[in-house]
Amino acid sequence: MAPVFALEPLRLPVFGLAGAVISLAVFLLLQRSIVELRRRHSGRREPVLTRLLYEALQSTPVQPEPLLRLGRRDRKLVRSILLRLALDLRGDTGESISELYRLLGFLQRDLARLTSGLASIRARAAADLGLVRSPQAIPALLKALNDRDVRVRQASVWAVGQVGDPSVLRGLVGLLEDRNLLVAHRAQEVLADRGREVADAIVAFAGTSSSRSGRLAAIELIGWLRLTTAADLLLEFMDDIDPEVRVKSVKAAAAIGDPRFLQSFSGGLDDSSWAVRCQAAKGLSLYGSPDTVPGLNRALRDRHWWVRFYAATALAEAGPFGAEALQAALQDPEPPVRDMARYLLERAQLIPALP
Amino acid sequence: MLETILGWYTGFMLIFFFTINSYYLLLTVAGFWRTLRVFKEVRRPDQRRLLRSPLTPPVSVLAPAFNEEANVVENVRSLLMLDYPLFEVILVNDGSSDDTLRRLVDAFDLRRSARSFEPALATKPVRAIYESPSYPNLVVVDKLNGGKADALNAGLNLSLYPIFCAIDADSILEPDALLRLVRPFVDSPGVTIAAGGVVRVANGCDVRSGRVRKVHLPHRSLPLVQIVEYLRAFLFGRMGWSTGNSLLVISGAFGLFEKRAAILAGGYATDSVGEDMELVVRMHRYRREACQPYRIGFVPDPICWTEVPENLRVLRRQRTRWQRGLIDTLLRHRQMIGRPRYGAVGMISLPGFLMFEMISPLVELSGYLLLPVLWTLGLISASIAATFFCLATLYMVLISALAVLLEDLVFRRYPRTLDLGRLLIGAVLENFGFRQLTVWWRVRAFWEYWRGDLSWGVMERRGVGASAG
């Protein structure tokens, strides 16, 4: 019987739990009421403050005076409006926003937040500094690239990409081989957007980097940015021993479409990696030349479905010569070849669809 | 002797109730911290840049459909309007006996296509493939009925892109849901192999043209209670599990997967009714056994809306199916349980699911049965029985109320203060009838599983657009 009666003292926890539930409910309703009040205040003040902001931004030089006299809550609202505007407005207005942000003391505050003990605050500060694109923030952001916390580093990479001029952006190229893949990918993302300004650095990095992941990222960038200056390097990489390097190089070359690649694409159709063969077929579609048809015709009979698909797509896109080859493939003894040819001709609306 | 045994069992149950509720509390709090971290983390303000970033991978959206003639056209239209740079929608008509296919053919000017595919996964025969000249990114596959998993496998075979999104044909994705869910794949390509998004309850919402225009709570108590349950278990619970890369469930209604990883793991299991959980566990297993680094994540802000059952009959079928799926997955992968080789999955989440999801209904039901027995035998006073019941109930209410509070702090999807009050009422109501019923259904699922029942049952939908109010 003893364990059963041992339940008796649990009456206190029951009341404790009931109290906790009631407190939670009260807290929930209270915090919602506070949020609602704040929201109403913002709704009331935002139009007034936005008008003040526009007046300040439109004057030359930027006039912060009326905004400097605002109370704490209004200043907080002004800051959030400025950050929203900064996201959408670039050019001269963007510069005015950045200047006003500085004159109102927000920049100094963000720079101080960038040294906070809390990583989430530092990351947020870096992101905000990136948004307002203030050149004065560059030294601090460059320092933050080496922060001990990966979130801060990621945010700083993004921010540097927003603020930095080409000389600063060059620093991001080296991060493509960063040991932390999140940082490396963020650098690649930024460079995919602004990499043309540092094209030479990217090409040089691809040629010299000893890191496989860094090199692969640089090759991808070369393709995305269509850096024709990297043609010789890509030709070299297309014979690399690493199949991943070959795939990415052929893909990048297919995006660039330099006449010098023709030979390599044709050779790529015999590569041991099916992914290389796919990309080589895609590359050959760029030329619209009868010389490419025999190779693509051969690839149309490849053992791998994806290579056949890419080859047929390439033939369909290669102009009249390709279409002729596909029409001829309709008579092929192999059903997969016939099906693929029929499908691509159908898609190109060169033959009617099935009933 | 009997008295002693009953006494000790009562003590065991008390400890069990305390442990299971503490487990839910811990999970909710962990999920909250994780959510906050994700939100505070470099939430880049320019998320929309992903729309034109070359790093954003193209996605194949796979939507299996079985007898969905009522909503299928509108749902496909909504999918085609997703904000995403490059995607294809593959709707798999899984041998519907209604007009699903004809409605699609008429609405989208579909024509039979000679498209071939690589049969990487075995499926029931495909009868025809349809494509549309007006919607080049829409493919409709008509195949013999083989179940949801088979339909998804057929869609996987046909997909052209490296990432696929599995959704229910009747789910409504928010326009930028895919763009948000793809973030882990952009940040860690090759490492992230799957990511789940949040599934929320659409009952009561204002839905027009395949979009949720206004979020409202349903008037009926059954879906209201399920909203609280979804918040607690599916939002913060899954977020909590994702903390240590030990998430076991990505809802079949909305999940993103690396195609290669899914195919290497063997695709969806066609002989399981819990194919979504089973695939995730198998992907964990495959990667752990191959010693390959990977990440299976959960993203709290991409949202998929779905309709939940509004009557007990349909709810029973859904819950017994979920439980059968859970039992099946845990038994299939029992070798992983408690094995350090499988990391946090083998040492924490699988044992957790075994104890607190699979076995707990048995213990809970025995508790409900035991209390009146003890009282009748005079072994326990009415006040002690009440104390015991109050303790368990209040703890559960506390966790549900906490989940509501956390939702309000982070997402605030229910903007009216009245809604909060109703959610809190739902958190209380859940424990009076709903919880006991689900416990009973989950126990029944053991019997159904033992009988080899693999049926899905039919989800009767009122149509979310029609259910407002």
**pLDDT one-digit tens code per residue, B378-393:** 777 777 777 778 888 8
Examine the pLDDT at A234 and tell me if it is beyond 90. Answer: yes
Give residue B284's domain range. 56-218+245-310
The band of B233, judged by pLDDT with boundaries at 50, 70 and 90, is confident
Contact criterion met (CB < 8 Å) for A343 and B115: yes
Question: How far, rounded to the nearest angstrom, does the alpha carbon of residue A226 sit from its chain's CA centroid?
Answer: 17
CB A7 to CB B10 under 8 A? yes
A354 pLDDT exceeds 70? no
In a domain, B33, yes or no: no
- The answer, yes or no, to whether residue B41 has pLDDT greater than 70, is no
Over range B102-126, report the average pLDDT: 91
pLDDT for res B468: 35
Q: How many Cα atoms within 13 Å fall on the side-chain side of residue A171?
A: 19
Q: What is the per-residue pLDDT across A145-170, written as a single tens digit (0 to 9) for each?
A: 999 999 899 999 999 998 878 888 99
Confidence category of residue A84, pLDDT binned at 50, 70, 90 = confident
Contacts of B293 in chain A (CB under 8 A): none
Residues in chain B with CB shorter than 8 Å from the CB of A25 are 401, 424
d(CA B133, CA A34): 54
pLDDT at B35 over 60: yes
Closest-approach residue (CA) in chain A for B4:
A1
Q: Does residue B378 sit within a domain?
A: no
Q: Which chain A residues are closer than 8 Å to B405 by Cβ?
A: 24, 27-28, 31
The shares of helix, strand and coil residues in chain A, as percent rounded to the nearest 5, are 80, 0, 20
pLDDT at A2: 45
Greater pLDDT, B157 or A133: B157
Shortest alpha-carbon distance between residue A28 and chain B (Å): 6
Q: What is the mean pLDDT of residues B404-410?
A: 87
The pLDDT of residue A85 is above 70: yes
Examine residue B385 and state whether it is found in any structural domain, yes or no.
Answer: no
Residue B423 belongs to a domain: no
pLDDT higher than threshold 90 for residue B36: no
3-state secondary structure chain B: CHHHHHHHHHHHHHHHHHHHHHHHHHHHHHHHHHHHHHHHCCCCCCHHHHHHCCCCCCEEEEEEECCCCCCHHHHHHHHHCCCCCCEEEEEEEECCCCCHHHHHHHHHCCEEECCCCCCCCCCCCEEEEEECCCCCCEEEEEECCCCHHHHHHHHHHHCCCCEEEEECCCCEECCCHHHHHCHHHHHCCCCEEEEEEEEEECCCCEEECCEEEECCCCCCHHHHHHHHHHHHHHHHHHHHHHCCCCCCCCCCCEEEEEHHHHHHCCCCCCCCCCHHHHHHHHHHHHHHHCCCCCEEEEEEEEEEEECCCCCHHHHHHHHHHHHHHHHHHHHHCHHHCCCHHHHHHHHHHHHHHHHHHHHHHHHHHHHHHHHHHHHHCCCCCHHHHHHHHHHHHHHHHHHHHHHHHHHHHHCCCCCCHHHHHHHHHHHHHHHHHHHHHHHHHHHHHHHHHHCCCCCCCCCCCCCCCCCCC
In a domain, B250, yes or no: yes
- Shortest alpha-carbon distance between residue A305 and chain B (Å): 6
Interchain pair B420, A29: CB under 8 A:
yes
**pLDDT on residue B369:** 86
Q: Specify the range with the lowest mean pLDDT, choosing from A325-339, B32-46, B420-434.
A: B32-46
Q: Which residue of A has its CA nearest to B112?
A: A354
Q: What would the mean pLDDT of A268-294 be, rounded to a whole number?
A: 88
> What are the pLDDT digits (tens) for B347-367?
999 999 999 999 999 999 998
Count the domains in chain B.
1
Chain A residues with CB-CB distance to B130 below 8 A: none
Nearest to A318 by CA among A336, A301, A300, A338: A300
CA of A8 vs chain B CAs: smallest distance (Å): 6
User: Residue B138 pairs with which residues in a beta bridge?
Assistant: B89
Q: Which pLDDT does position B192 carry in this prediction?
A: 94
Using pLDDT thresholds of 50, 70 and 90, give the confidence band for residue A6: very low
Which residues in chain B are contacts of A151 at CB distance < 8 A? 41-42
Q: Using a CB-CB distance cutoff of 8 angstroms, which residues of chain A are in contact with residue B377?
A: none
Task: State how far residue A47 is from chain B, nearest Cα, in angstroms.
Answer: 22
What distance separates the 2 farthest-apart alpha carbons in chain B? 78
Using the predicted structure, report yes or no on whether residue B315 has a pLDDT greater than 90.
Answer: yes
Asked whether residue B37 is assigned to any structural domain, the reply reads no
Question: What is the overall mean pLDDT for chain B?
Answer: 88
Output the pLDDT for position B101.
Answer: 94
Whether B44 and A127 lie within 8 Å, measured CB to CB: yes
Is B270 a domain residue? yes
Q: Inspect the interface and report whether the beta carbons of B387 and A353 lie closer than 8 Å.
A: no
B3: which chain A residues are within 8 Å (Cβ-Cβ)? 1
Candidate from B116, B117, B417 with C-beta closest to A32: B417
Cβ-Cβ pairs closer than 8 A, A with B, add up to 143
CB contact under 8 A, A120 and B49: no
- Decide if B133 and A349 are in contact by the 8 Å CB cutoff: yes
pLDDT at B52 over 80: no
Asked if this assembly's ipTM is beyond 0.95, the reply is no
The token pair that represents A55 in the structure block: 């007046």
A4–B374: do the CB atoms touch at under 8 Å?
A: yes
The answer to whether residue B61 is domain-embedded is yes
- Predicted pLDDT at B463: 57
Q: What's the CATH code of the domain at B204?
A: 3.90.550.10
In Å, how far is B380's CA from the nearest CA of chain A? 7
- Whether B401 and A131 lie within 8 Å, measured CB to CB: no
Task: Give the model's confidence band at A1: pLDDT under 50 very low, under 70 low, under 90 confident, else very high.
Answer: very low
Kindly report whether the peptide bond that precedes residue A135 is cis, defined as omega within 30 degrees of 0.
Answer: no
Q: Chain B residues with CB inside 8 Å of A224's CB?
A: 54
Q: How much of chain B, in percent, has pLDDT values that exceed 90?
A: 54
